Amino acid sequence: MLKPTQVFSPLAEQLEPEGAFVYLDLAAEARRKGIDVISFGIGQPDFLPPREVVDAVKEALDRGFIRYISTLGLPELRERIASYVSEKYGVDVKPTEVAVTVGAKAALYMAISLLTRPGDEVVVQDPAFPTYECVVRHAGGRPVFVKLREENEFRLAREDVEREIKDLHRVRGIVVNSPHNPTGAVLSESDVEELIELAKRRNLFIISDEIYEDYVYEGRHRSFLQDPEWRDYVVYVSGFSKTWALTGLRLGYVVAREEVIRALDVFATNMYSCPPAPLQYAALKALELGTSWFKSYLEEYRRRRDAAVEELGRIPGVRVVRSRGAFYLFPNVRELMGRLRVGSTDELARRILFEAGVVLLPGTAFPLRGGDGYLRVSYVLPIERIREGFRRVREWVEKVGG
């Protein structure tokens, strides 16, 4: 008989580990074996935020701002986020329509759980950030996977969504991510408008994860908040991890109608009481400084993307779409797998790690069939390391494949 601490809730078993962190541990294992590892694995910026942002945390600690605060965040931070988002997208967001959260991931977890009822069907992109479908299942819903097509630059197309849901009767919403992890795809203005039109016609919510909104290399980011009726359909999620490189501070935020924010207040109270007070002063300082300083980093990341595309194009059996946003590429390695007689992308990724010393994530970690035959590249490395990493992969391929 199993002991009581060996029997887990079926709901908890709907959650799965995130592939990026699995390969973070595998990379550490490779380093312990003496392998010099170049990692294109975990997706976090490699630059530091402005010094004033970090100093704001120290100042908050020195001033004793270490007590419980409102579950929804510092009132002054909610006001600043509302102003920032309103100016950014030409909308009118009220402070009461903002919740500060412990990272964008907690925001997504709460929003999906709040809006998904047992038995509901929720559209998720495939491939996509794995949290989306895990939380849908954890909430008692059923993910409806819409495969992203390489020939469409991995953009989520309304017609593809319609085809998957046309015979379904319990579709409740869509989880959208643009710029997109893991492919770097960016929805066009017409893509966003068509998805909003579909949501209105079918009475669906849209949870829009826009955490990479400032990483757009061609054109401009189109937010779902820019629809005049956003309050009726959209829950917008973003945060401070990517633009300001504050991944470890775990600060995200939600913009939604007041009823949603009040419900998230109750949810968050039961989950974590409140976001850490001192860290929110860093977010206040970040918004005060704005994003003009970020432009040089964006240009550097564009150069890195171009270098990565160039080097991937030199590897036999690999082709890649030049992504328009985030800091990811999603190369197609099916021909390479055939050449090397490799049975899965996970096997390929592990061999590249332990035989070539390069971390590339298997596309199947994101999280289903749409990533089969692909690898994810996170090009958050100096250009010389990007070129060195793919040189190693190319030489390994030529050696192993003859």
What are the residue boundaries of the structural domains of the chain, listed by start? 4-48+294-400, 67-290
How many Å apart are CA 39 and CA 290, to the nearest integer?
Answer: 30
Q: Letter for the amino acid at 161?
A: V
Look up the pTM and report it. Answer: 0.94
Distances (CA, A) of 298 to 45, 291, 293, 295: 11, 11, 10, 5
The mean per-residue pLDDT over the stretch 118-142 comes to 95
pLDDT at 402: 64
Q: Cα-Cα-Cα-Cα dihedral of 195, 196, 201, 207, to 10°?
A: 90
Kindly report, residue by residue over 32-54, the tens digit of the pLDDT.
888 888 999 888 999 999 999 99
The mean per-residue pLDDT over the stretch 385-389 comes to 98
Residue owning tokens 């849901």: 165
Segment (H or E) for 174: strand 171-177
- Residue 15: pLDDT band by 50, 70, 90 thresholds? low
- Residue 5: pLDDT band by 50, 70, 90 thresholds? low
Q: What angle do CA 103, 187, 261 make, to 5 degrees?
A: 35
Say if CB 31 and CB 37 are below 8 A apart.
yes
Of 54, 76, 43, 365, give the one whose Cα is nearest residue 209: 43
How many Å apart are CA 117 and CA 217, to the nearest integer?
Answer: 38
How many Å apart are CA 122 and CA 136, to the nearest integer?
Answer: 7
8 pLDDT more than 80: no
Residue owning tokens 């541990």: 25
pLDDT at 277: 95
| Number of helical (H) and strand (E) elements in the chain, helices listed first | 14, 12
Say if CB 264 and CB 96 are below 8 A apart.
no
Strand spans (E) along 247-294: 252-255
How many Å apart are CA 325 and CA 157, to the nearest integer?
Answer: 17
- 4-48+294-400 maps to which CATH number? 3.90.1150.10
- Residue 7: pLDDT band by 50, 70, 90 thresholds? confident
Class of domain 67-290: alpha beta
Alpha helices in 125-251 (DSSP H): 131-138, 158-165, 189-202, 230-233
Mean pLDDT computed over every residue of the chain: 94
27 pLDDT more than 80: no
Of 35, 38, 43, give the one whose Cα is nearest residue 358: 38
DSSP letters, 300-339, are HHHHHHHHHHHHHTTSTT-B-----BTTEE--B-HHHHHH
How many Å apart are CA 106 and CA 95, to the nearest integer?
Answer: 19
HSE-up (13 A, CA, CB side) for residue 341:
3
pLDDT at 33: 85
Token pair belonging to 312 = 């991937």
